[in-house]
Chain A
Amino acid sequence: EPEVTQTPSHQVTQMGQEVILRCVPISNHLYFYWYRQILGQKVEFLVSFYNNEISEKSEIFDDQFSVERPDGSNFTLKIRSTKLEDSAMYFCASTMEGLLGGNTIYFGEGSWLTVV
């Protein structure tokens, strides 16, 4: 079965440092997403990306966050200046078409970010 792959699986960074989390969505998918899960809390939507632009973002996704699809395969999440509260598991996801088309959203295994 095709899968979404994420790197790194775990990263420890110092507060104030920039972090880039990388994702390779499923190859024929068109919609891409980032979600995060702070330890012990629910999975939260961060941002969706379609047609090379952000289609929706949550209030969490402030100016410290950015996303990019630098080439035909990668989808990245950048946190410019990390804060302690950014420590979380970050999930990348993709769908072939939008959710309302009955499509399944496939999640990667996550990148665990620890900010110290």
Chain B
Amino acid sequence: AQSVTQPDIHITVSEGASLELRCNYSYGATPYLFWYVQSPGQGLQLLLKYFSGDTLVQGIKGFEAEFKRSQSSFNLRKPSVHWSDAAEYFCAVGSNDYKLSFGAGTTVTVRA
């Protein structure tokens, strides 16, 4: 069965600093990988997804993620964070047509 691990429960970054959120997956075949963001009291918004092709994926809000099959990773990055990026970030893997498996999430705090 597929699974997702997000090793960092909480990350604090300064505004303007770079951000990297780690995601490792476990899945036997080609994974379909997603990053979602959840702001307080809000739903889940898709940041980006990887299905095939270029392993560096660009998303919304200036985020990008890189798929590394050899490391079973799909880390999310942003070169310069804004205060509005404070939220919880979820990595997810899709294995069939019907189901996403989510990681436990990483909470990002942005300090001025």
Contact = CB atoms under 8 A, between A and B. Distances in A.
B104 A99 contact: no
Interface string A56-69: 10100000000000
Chain A CB within 10 Å, residue with most, of B36, B44, B45, B92: B44
B46 interface: yes
Interface in A24-83: 31, 33, 35, 41-45, 48, 50, 55-56, 58
Q: How large is the interface on A (under 10, 10 to 19, 20 to 34, 35 or more residues)?
A: 20 to 34
A97 B94 CA distance: 14
Interface in B58-112: 90, 92, 94, 96-105
B32 interface: yes
A107 B43 contact: yes
A42 B99 contact: no
A56 B96 contact: yes
A100 B44 contact: no
Contacts of B103: 42
Given A107-B43, A108-B43, A99 B102 contact: no
A36 B7 CA distance: 21
B51 A102 contact: yes
A29 B94 CA distance: 18
Nearest to A54: B98
A86 interface: no
A56 B43 contact: no
Interface of B: 32, 34, 36, 42-46, 49, 51, 90, 92, 94, 96-105
